[in-house]
Structure 1
Amino acid sequence: MSFTRINQTILSESKDLVAMDSRIEELLSFLEIGLLDVRIIGIWGMKGIGKTTLARVVAKRIRARFEGYSYLANVREATEKQGLEHLQEQLLSDLLKSNVKIQNIDMEDVIGHRLRNKKALIIVDDVDEVEQVEALCDRTWFGPGSRIIITSTDEHVLRRYVDKIYQVKLLTNDEALQLFSWKSFQKHQVEESFLKLSKDFLTYAKGLPLAIKVLGSFLCNRPQSAWSSALDRLKENPEKKIVDVLKVSFDGLSLETEKKVFLDIACFFKGENKDRVIRILETGCGYRPEIDIDVLVEKSLVTLFGRNLWMHDLIQELGWEIVRRECRERPGERSRLWLSKDIIPVLANNKGTSAIESLSTSILCWSMLQFIDLSDSQYLIMTPNFKEVPNLETLVLQGCTRLVAVHPSVGLLKKLTLLNMRYCKSVESLPPFISLESLKSLTLSACSSLKKFPDIEGNMESLLELNLDGTAIEELPPSFGLLTGLTCLNLGDCKDLLYLPSSIQYLRSLKSLILAGCSKLDGIPENLNWFEFLEMLDLSGTALSQTSSFAGLSSLKNLNLSDCNLIEGALLNGLASLYSLEILNLSGNKFVQLPQSFSQLSKLKHLDVSNCGRLQLMPKELPSSLQHVSAQDCTSLIDSPNEFKMWASPVSGTTTFNCFNSSQNQELSTLNYILWAVKSRRHIGGDKRLVFCGKQALSKSINCFLRYSLKECTTCIV
C-alpha cells in the first residue's frame, strides 16, 4: 500500500475522528515506513490531548504492512498492577502468535532467532518510566523496517530512546467546535440556539479533546437550561472524569517539591517570568526549584512561552481542585488561597492556620477589611496585593519565616496603623513607604535578612514606635529624619549598622532610643542635646567616645552604658548633670572609681556596677534617693568586698548594697526575699541605723524578726 493510498483511507475515517487527518499525516511523515531501519517515534503531550487515539488510528491503517503487531495499552497502569514481566509476555505472545511465559523460554534464543528477522509494528501506550522502554522496545530485538510508537506525557523519558518526538497540539477553535457538535448533537454543526453556550463550554475546554468529548457527551439531549446550569457548576466543581484523568500526571510526580511547585504555579504564578518565580521559591522555600520546573515541562504539566510559565486552563483547574480537596469546608486549613471569597472570611474572622503557605497577590473586593493576621504562617512566601484593601488598619505577619516578597502596595495603605513583621527572617527588602500617613507602630524585629530600611517618600509623622532590633540593616536612609513623631526607636543588636544618619537629629520627640549591641556602630552622635524628651537610652555594647556628651538630656530617667569599655574621664563625669536619672547601668566596664559627683544624682534609685573587675572605690557619698546598688563580682572593690549592706534613708526608705561574688547568689536570693518582705510592709521613719551582714554571716541561718509600728521598724539579721 502506497503512502498516498494510506492517506486516502484515512480521509474516509469515521466522523468521530474529528481533526485527525493532519495529525496522522504528520506522524506518518515521521515514521518513514519505506525505510529499512528500525525507527522509534515518540508521541508527546498532556493527558487527554489525543496521543492514544492518534497512535491507534495510525496503527490500524498501517499494520497490514508488518509481519507482526503488538499494542501494549496503559503501560503505566499495567506495570503497577501486573509488572513488566506480564507486558513482556504479552509482547512476545502477540508477535509470535502463541502463549508465552517468560519463565519457560530462553529470551536470547527468542530474540536472536525469531524476532530479529521479523518486521514488527509495536505501540507502547502511556509510558512514564525509562525501565518500561528498556524492557519492552529495545530496537536491537526487531528486524529491518520495524516501527515502534511510544506515547507518553514525559518528554524526558522519550528523549533518551526515540529518533523523533511528535508533539500533539490542542485543537483549533474550528476543530474543537466540530468535535463538540458531533458529541453533543451527533452532527457536524451546532444548533443555532445552542451556539453561544457551546462556545462558552469550548472556552472552558481550551482545545483539549478529552474535555470536549466528556462535556459534549454529558450535554447530549439535554435542554438549554441544563446547559446553563452545568456551565455554572463547572466554575466551582470541575468535571470529575476530566480531573481524574489529568490528575494521573500529578500523581506521577516523584518528589514533593515537584508537586509543591506545580501547585504554586497553578495558584499564583501562571504567566509569570520563570526567573522571578525561581528566585521567590528559592528564598522562601529553601530549595532550588529550577529542576522541578524542568520536570513539569517535560511531563506536559507546564509550558514555557519565552521565559514565562504557562499551563492549560484545565491543568490549572486540576491544581486548584487538589488544593480544595485538602479541606473543602475550611479554606483556612488549605495550603494555598487565591480566591477572594475564601481569603476574606479567613482574614476577617482570623481563621487562618499554619497550613497556609501562600495567598493570592491579586485579590479583589477587600474594601471593608480592617484587620489581617497571618502570624506564624510558616509556608507563606509572598503577601497579597493590598491595593483593594484601602481601609486596612492592622497587618500582622509575625513569624512568617519563609516570607520573601512583600507586595509594593503595602507602602500605599493610608489607614494602616500597625504593621508587625517580627521574625520574618527571609525578607531582604521592603517597598518604599509612600503613603503610610496613619502608621503608628512598625515592628521589623528579628528580620535577620533585612539589609536596608525602605525610603520614606511620604508623610509618616504619625509613627510612634519603630522596632528594627535584630535586623541586618547597614545604614538608615537620609529620609529617616522625616519620622518626626517617633517616640520609640529600637535598633538593638543591629550588628551590621555602621553609622546613624545626620538626619536623626530631627527626631525631637524621641523618648526611648535603644542601640544596644550595635557593635559596628562608629560612635554615637557626640551631641545628644536634640533629644530633650528622651527618657530611656540604651547604649550597652557600643563603642562610646570620651567626647560623647549627655548634657542636655534633662528628661533622661534610664541610662544603660554596660559593656562599653568605659574608663575614667569626661564622659563619666558628665553623667552627674542628668538630674532626672533614676536607673543607671554601668556594669561590665573598666573604670577604677566612680566620680564623687554621682552624689548629685538626686533622683537615682538603682545603680548597677556589676562585673566591673577594676572598680576599687565607690563614691564616699551616694545619693540619698538610692534604693539598690548592685556591685556583684567587683573583685577589686576595696571598700566593701563580699558584703551585703542595708541602711535606711529618709528619701528612699531602705537601701541595699550587694557586693557578693556570683558563688553566693543562692544564699543571697534568700536574703533578698526577706528584704523584699521587710520593704513591702515597712514604715522606717527617721531610723538611720546601718545593718551590716558580711560573708561569714550568710553561711549561718537567717532569721528575720519584724517589729514595726507607725514610727519605726527594727530588722535584725544574724
Structure 2
Amino acid sequence: MFMWDLIWSNLIEYSLSHRREAKFIQNIVTEISLKLHLINWSIDEKLVGMEERVKNVISSLQVESEDDVRMIGIWGMGGAGKTTLARAVFDHISIWFEGKSFVENVRERSKGMGLKELQRQLLKDVLNDQSIDVNGASDGIYKMKKMMPGRKVLVVLDDVDHIEQLEALAGELTWFKPGSRIFITTRDKQVLVAQGVHVDNIYNISLLSDEEAICLFNRHAFRSKFPIQGYEEKLSRRVVHYAAGLPLTIKVLGSLLCGRTEPIWLDTLKRLKTIPLKETLKKLEISYDGLEEDQKEIFLDVACILKGESKENAIRILESCGFHAQIGLDVLEQKSLINIMYNGYLGMHDHIEEMGRNIACRLHPGDPNRHSRLWVKEEIEEILVNDLGTEDTRSMILNYMDIHPAIVMKSLRKMKKIIFLFVNYYSLPTFFLKKWKIDVGGVQYLPDTLRCLIWADYPFFCLPKTFQADNLVYLKMPRSCISQLWEGGERKFLKKLKFVDLSYSKLRTFDLGMTRNLETLDLRSCIDLVELQIPVPLPMLKVLDLSGSMVSNLNLEMTPNIENLRLKGCEDLVELQMSVALPMLNRLYLSDSKVSNLNLGLTPNLKVLELKDCYYLQEIHAPVGCLKNLTRLNLSGCLRFEYFWFGTPCVDSLATLKLNAESLDICPLHPNSNLPKFKFRCIYNDVLPSSSGNLEKLLSFGLCACTNLESFSASICGLQHLTALTLEGCIPELPKDLWKLESLDRLTLRIQEIKHLPDCICMLKHLKSLDLGFCGLLEQLPMDLGGLECLEELRLTDCTSLRDIPDSICQLKCLKLLHISRAGICCLPKSIIQLKHLKSVDQGFCELLEELPMDLEGLECLEEFLLRCSQGRSIIPSSPI
C-alpha cells in the first residue's frame, strides 16, 4: 500500500479539465507504468552481481529530473563487465526517455569511415527515422546539433578509447535536451576526464566478490545455482581463485569445464599455471595495444619486475632506466592496466600481469636466455649456472636464490646491454662464501651499461675496479659489506648518479664530491660512518639520512636545497652547522643526538622538528617569523632544556606538541599567539593548568611518559579543533565533558588504572579511531558504543579484564578494523555479522574465547581474519567461515 500511496501522491498534477477522458486515463496509466518499472529493481538472475551495481548507478542518475544533461562514465579493465552493466542500466531505465540508442563497440567500429556510420545509427535510433543519412563526420555533428535537442534521450557509447569518438558522437551537453543521460564505457579514464565528465559521475566498476564469482561460475559450469556434489570446495573455488573476480575469465572457464570429468578439471588448472587463457589475453591485450612504445616498455617492466614496488621507488627506477615514469604510470592507471594500492604500492590484476609476462616471452617462447626480462627463478638459475647469458637481457631480478655471487658476476660478462639488475639473497653473503668455497678474487664484474643496480647483502668490500658506472643513476645496496666505494680509495666521478642507498653498510667515510648530481643519500645505520665529506656544492641534494651513524659534526653550507634531514640516533653528533639559508628544509630529525644549541633562524619553512630525548639540548633560537610553518614539535625527553626563544608572531600553525619534564619550570613559547606559556608538571602529581584549555589551535595533544599524572583537567575539553588525543599513565578517570571535543577523530588511551569509560565518549560523532590497547583493568565498554557512527577502527588489544563487547557494535556501520588480541573476551556478539564493511579482525590468543559467531561468511568485505590460539586450544565457529 505504501508504494501505491507514493505513486498516487506524485500524480496530483493531473487534472481532467479541458482534456478528453481517454487521453487523461492514458497519461495516468503511462505515469504509473514508469513508476512501477523504476521501483521494480529485479535484474535478470543470469547477470550475477549486477543488481547492486545497477542500483548504485541508477540511484545517482535522478532519471526523473529534467534540469540538466548528464554524462556518466563506466570505467574499468577489459572483461570486468562494463558493457554488461551499461546494458542492464539501459534496459531498466530506457522507458523513461523519448529516444534511445545503444552504440556498441565504438573502438572497433570507428576505424576508417566508421564514425559517420555510428552517427547515422545514433540518429536513426533516437529519432526512429530510418531514412536519415550522414555524408561525413562533420555532417553528422551538424545534424546531431540540429535534431537531438528536441528529445530527452538515453544514449550508451560502448567501449570508447579516443576523445575524437566522443567529439563526434556527444561533443557537447548542449546537443541534447535537458533530462538526457549519456553513458560512456571505457578502459581509459583519461577519455572521460578530457570529455569533462565530472569525477562524481565516473563509476569504477568493481570485480566480483568470491561469492558472486562462485555463483556466476556455477551457472556456466553446472547450468545451475549450485555445483555438482564434490566439485565445490575441491575444484570450483580453485577455478574462481584463478579468475580473481574477472567475469570474462569465469564465464570462459565455466563454459570450458561444463560437463567435463574431474581429471580434465585438474589438468586444466595445472595447464593454466604456465599457459594463460587465450580468450582472456586477447581481451586484455586491447588496452596494451593502445599504448605508445615507451609506455609498453614501462608496462612490461611493471608486469615482470616492479609489481608490488612502491610507486615512488618505481618512478625512480624507471626514470633511471630512461623512461618518463610519471606520465607513463599515470597512463597505465587511467587505462586500468595498473592500480595504486592504498599504501602507495603498484598493484596489477593477476591476469594483466599474466598477459604482460606472456608478451615479454612471446618472441622466444622456448629460449629464456633471449628474453629481454628475466624473472623466473628456475630459468635464471639455469642461465647463470651454465653461463648462458646473452646481450638480449635488459633486466634481471634474482630473488632469494642459492647461487654464489661470483657465479652471478661471471654470467653478467655476457649480458653486455643489461641496464637493470636486482639481487636479493635470503641469507647472509658469508653463508655462500663458506658453502661454495670459491675464490672471489678477480671474479668481480658489473656491466658498464647498468643504470639501476639493486643488490641487497652485497658480499664484497667495494665495487669492481673495472666497473666504470658512467651510466649508473640508481644504486641501492642495503646491508652490504662495502667499506669504501672503490678499492684503495680511488675517486671515480659518477656524474649521472642521483639516488644512493648504502644503509646498514660498513662504510667509514663517504665523499660527496664524486656524486655532484645526487638527490637522495641514505646512509642510515652505518654504524662505522664517522665522516661525510661535502667538498663541493650539491644543489640537487634533497634528502640526507645519516640516522644511527657516528658522525660528530655536519655542515650544511654546501646543501642549500636540502628538504629532509634525518640525524636521529646520531649519538656522537654535537654540532649541526646551518650558516647559510636553507629555504627548502621542512623536516629536521635530531632525536637522540648530543646537540646542545640549535639556531633555526635560516630555516623559514620548517614543518617538522623532532628533538625527542636530546638530553644535552639547552637552547633553541628562532627569530621573528622563522617558524611560521611549523606543524610538529617534539621536545619530550629534553630534560636539560631551559630556553626556547620565539620571535612574534610565530608558530600559529603548530599542530602537534609533545612535552614531558622533571621540573616545575615554565617552558616559554611565544607570548602573543594561541600558544601562551605552556606549564607542564608531571612527576609531582599536579593537574594540568587551566591555560591548556586556551590552546585552540592545538590539533594533537600527547601526554608522553606522564606515568605519575593522577588526574586530567577538564579544561582540555576547551580545545575545539583537537583532532587527536593521547592519554598515558595513571589517570583514574576521564573528564565527563570529553564530548565537547567536537573535532576529535583519534582517541588513544594507554591508562593503567581506568576501569570504565564515560558514556559521553559515545557522543564523539567524528571519532574514527578508538585505541584502548593495554588498558589492563578496563572491565566494561559503554553500552551505547554504537553511537560512534563514524568509527572505523576499534583496538582492544591486551584489555585482559574486558569480558564482552556490547551488542550495539552492530550499529558501527563504518567499522573496518576490530583488533582484540590477548583480550579477556569470552565471546563475540552475534550482531558482528551485520558489520558489512569490516575488513580486518584480529582475535589471536584470546584465551577465554570459546566459539565464533555463526555465518561469518556474511562479512562480505572481510580480507583478514587472524585466529591464533595457544598450543592445545582450538576455537570452532558454529558455522564454517
Task: Give the structure 2 partner of residue 238 of structure 1.
Answer: 276
The equivalences for 1:572-651 within 5 A come to none
Gaps of 5+ in 2: 1-31, 434-439, 538-881
Matches of 2:417 and 2:493, distance apart in 1: 15
Q: Choose the corresponding residue for 2:170, options 127, 131, 137.
A: 137
Matches of 1:433 and 1:112, distance apart in 2: 67
SS in 2 for 1:329: coil
In structure 2, do the counterparts of structure 1 residues 64 and 453 end up closer, same or farther at CA, with 3 Å as the change threshold?
A: closer
Q: Choose the corresponding residue for 1:35, options 65, 71, 92.
A: 65
Is 1:21 the counterpart of 2:51? The answer is yes
SS in 2 for 1:396: coil
Q: Which segment is superposed worse, 292-301 or 346-355? A: 346-355
Is 1:328 the counterpart of 2:365? The answer is yes
Task: Give the structure 1 partner of residue 132 of structure 2.
Answer: 100
Task: Give the structure 1 partner of residue 315 of structure 2.
Answer: 278
Is 1:91 the counterpart of 2:122? The answer is yes
Task: Give the structure 1 partner of residue 191 of structure 2.
Answer: 157
The equivalences for 1:234-633 within 5 A come to 234-253=272-291, 255-282=292-319, 284-306=320-342, 307-366=344-403, 370-372=407-409, 373-375=411-413, 376-387=415-426, 391=432, 393=440, 394=443, 396-403=445-452, 405-411=453-459, 421-423=467-469, 425-427=471-473, 429=475, 431=477, 434-435=480-481, 449=496
TM-fit CA distance, 1:220:
0.7
Task: Give the structure 1 partner of residue 75 of structure 2.
Answer: 44
TM-fit CA distance, 1:454:
6.6
Contact map agreement 2:423 2:456 (CA 8 A) in 1: no
Aligned AA for 2:369?
G
Task: Give the structure 1 partner of residue 693 of structure 2.
Answer: none
Matches of 1:71 and 1:321, distance apart in 2: 34
Matches of 1:305 and 1:268, distance apart in 2: 17
Matches of 1:108 and 1:234, distance apart in 2: 48
SS in 2 for 1:407: strand
Contact map agreement 2:140 2:168 (CA 8 A) in 1: no
Aligned AA for 1:5?
L
SS in 2 for 1:236: coil
Is 1:54 the counterpart of 2:85? The answer is yes
Matches of 1:456 and 1:68, distance apart in 2: 69
Contact map agreement 2:49 2:208 (CA 8 A) in 1: yes
Aligned AA for 1:170?
L
Instruction: Give a deviation string over 1:559-606, Cα, whole Å, max 9, x none.
Output: xxxxxxxxxxxxxxxxxxxxxxxxxxxxxxxxxxxxxxxxxxxxxxxx
In structure 2, do the counterparts of structure 1 residues 247 and 225 end up closer, same or farther at CA, with 3 Å as the change threshold?
A: same
Matches of 1:386 and 1:395, distance apart in 2: 17
Contact map agreement 2:451 2:474 (CA 8 A) in 1: no
TM-fit CA distance, 1:234:
0.7
Contact map agreement 1:371 1:395 (CA 8 A) in 2: no
SS in 2 for 1:382: strand
Aligned AA for 2:449?
C
In structure 2, do the counterparts of structure 1 residues 106 and 280 end up closer, same or farther at CA, with 3 Å as the change threshold?
A: closer
In structure 2, do the counterparts of structure 1 residues 247 and 455 end up closer, same or farther at CA, with 3 Å as the change threshold?
A: closer
In structure 2, do the counterparts of structure 1 residues 454 and 289 end up closer, same or farther at CA, with 3 Å as the change threshold?
A: closer
Is 1:146 the counterpart of 2:146? The answer is no
In structure 2, do the counterparts of structure 1 residues 366 and 223 end up closer, same or farther at CA, with 3 Å as the change threshold?
A: farther
Task: Give the structure 2 partner of residue 66 of structure 1.
Answer: 97
TM-fit CA distance, 1:112:
5.5
Matches of 1:72 and 1:174, distance apart in 2: 32
SS in 1 for 2:457: helix
Is 1:177 the counterpart of 2:223? The answer is no
Matches of 1:270 and 1:455, distance apart in 2: 23
Task: Give the structure 2 partner of residue 216 of structure 1.
Answer: 254
Aligned AA for 2:150?
N
In structure 2, do the counterparts of structure 1 residues 449 and 109 end up closer, same or farther at CA, with 3 Å as the change threshold?
A: closer
Matches of 2:83 and 2:37, distance apart in 1: 19
Instruction: Give a deviation string over 1:515-554, Cα, whole Å, max 9, x none.
Output: xxxxxxxxxxxxxxxxxxxxxxxxxxxxxxxxxxxxxxxx
In structure 2, do the counterparts of structure 1 residues 108 and 223 end up closer, same or farther at CA, with 3 Å as the change threshold?
A: closer
Matches of 1:62 and 1:455, distance apart in 2: 61
SS in 1 for 2:110: helix
TM-fit CA distance, 1:44:
0.7
Aligned AA for 1:73?
E
TM-fit CA distance, 1:262:
1.3
TM-fit CA distance, 1:300:
0.8
In structure 2, do the counterparts of structure 1 residues 151 and 109 end up closer, same or farther at CA, with 3 Å as the change threshold?
A: closer
Instruction: Give a deviation string over 1:394-426, Cα, whole Å, max 9, x none.
Output: 4532222323x3222223x79x99785344531
TM-fit CA distance, 1:433:
7.3
Matches of 1:173 and 1:77, distance apart in 2: 32
In structure 2, do the counterparts of structure 1 residues 107 and 340 end up closer, same or farther at CA, with 3 Å as the change threshold?
A: closer
Contact map agreement 1:153 1:300 (CA 8 A) in 2: yes
SS in 1 for 2:65: coil
TM-score computed with the length of structure 1 as normaliser: 0.59
Matches of 2:528 and 2:97, distance apart in 1: 81
SS in 1 for 2:390: coil
Contact map agreement 2:34 2:96 (CA 8 A) in 1: no
SS in 1 for 2:221: helix
Contact map agreement 2:339 2:347 (CA 8 A) in 1: yes
In structure 2, do the counterparts of structure 1 residues 75 and 395 end up closer, same or farther at CA, with 3 Å as the change threshold?
A: farther
Contact map agreement 2:506 2:529 (CA 8 A) in 1: no
Contact map agreement 2:79 2:247 (CA 8 A) in 1: yes
TM-fit CA distance, 1:113:
5.0
- The structure whose residues are more often helix, as a share, is 1
In structure 2, do the counterparts of structure 1 residues 317 and 121 end up closer, same or farther at CA, with 3 Å as the change threshold?
A: same
Aligned AA for 2:180?
S
When the two chains are superposed, the root-mean-square deviation of aligned CA atoms in Å is: 3.9
The equivalences for 1:651-666 within 5 A come to none
TM-fit CA distance, 1:367:
6.7
SS in 2 for 1:148: strand
SS in 2 for 1:247: helix
Contact map agreement 1:183 1:216 (CA 8 A) in 2: yes
In structure 2, do the counterparts of structure 1 residues 136 and 459 end up closer, same or farther at CA, with 3 Å as the change threshold?
A: closer
In structure 2, do the counterparts of structure 1 residues 428 and 141 end up closer, same or farther at CA, with 3 Å as the change threshold?
A: closer
Q: What percentage of aligned pairs have identical amino acids?
A: 35
Q: Which segment is superposed worse, 62-71 or 169-178? A: 62-71
In structure 2, do the counterparts of structure 1 residues 479 and 382 end up closer, same or farther at CA, with 3 Å as the change threshold?
A: same
TM-fit CA distance, 1:58:
1.5
In structure 2, do the counterparts of structure 1 residues 227 and 305 end up closer, same or farther at CA, with 3 Å as the change threshold?
A: same
TM-fit CA distance, 1:33:
0.7
TM-fit CA distance, 1:266:
1.3
Greater relative CO (CA pairs within 8 A, separation 6+): 1
Contact map agreement 1:7 1:25 (CA 8 A) in 2: no
TM-fit CA distance, 1:30:
2.4
SS in 1 for 2:213: helix
SS in 2 for 1:98: coil
In structure 2, do the counterparts of structure 1 residues 2 and 49 end up closer, same or farther at CA, with 3 Å as the change threshold?
A: farther
Matches of 1:450 and 1:251, distance apart in 2: 34
SS in 2 for 1:102: coil
TM-fit CA distance, 1:445:
6.8
* Equivalenced residues, count: 471
